[in-house]
Amino acid sequence: MRILVCNDDGIDAPGLKLLEEVARQLANDVWVVAPDGKRTAASASITIGRPLTMQYLGDNRYSCSGTPADCVVTAMTWLFKGEAKPDLVLAGINDGRNAAEDIIYSGTLGIAREATFWGVPAIGFSRVKNPHTTAEDADFLARFIRNLWKAREAWFLDGHWLSVNLPASLPAPVYQPRIGRDKIGTIAEIVSQQAGQTVLVVPRGRTHASTPGDENDLINQGNICINRLNWFGETPLKENLLETL
- Mean pLDDT in consecutive groups of 10 residues from the start of the chain, 245 residues: 97 98 97 95 93 97 97 98 96 96 94 97 97 96 97 91 98 96 92 95 88 96 96 76 76
Residue 197 is assigned to a structural domain of this protein: no
pLDDT digits (tens, 9 = 90+) for 200-232: 999 988 888 999 999 999 999 999 999 999 987
Residue 191 is assigned to a structural domain of this protein: no
Residue 146 is assigned to a structural domain of this protein: yes
Q: At what angle do helices 14-26 and 137-150 cross, to 10 degrees?
A: 50
pTM, rounded to two decimals: 0.93
Nearest to 148 by CA among 213, 51, 227: 227
Residue 114 is assigned to a structural domain of this protein: yes
DSSP state of 238: P
Residue 91 is assigned to a structural domain of this protein: yes
**C-alpha distance from residue 201 to each of 186, 192, 208 (Å):** 11, 10, 20
Cross-strand partners of 230: 160
C-alpha span between 35 and 71 (Å, rounded): 7
Residue 185 is assigned to a structural domain of this protein: no
Number of neighbours of residue 38 by Cβ within 10 angstroms? 14
C-alpha span between 24 and 22 (Å, rounded): 5
Looking up residue 229, the CATH number of its domain turns out to be: 3.40.1210.10
Range of the domain at 147: 2-179+205-242
Residue 227 is assigned to a structural domain of this protein: yes
User: How many structural domains does the chain have?
Assistant: 1
Residue 79 is assigned to a structural domain of this protein: yes
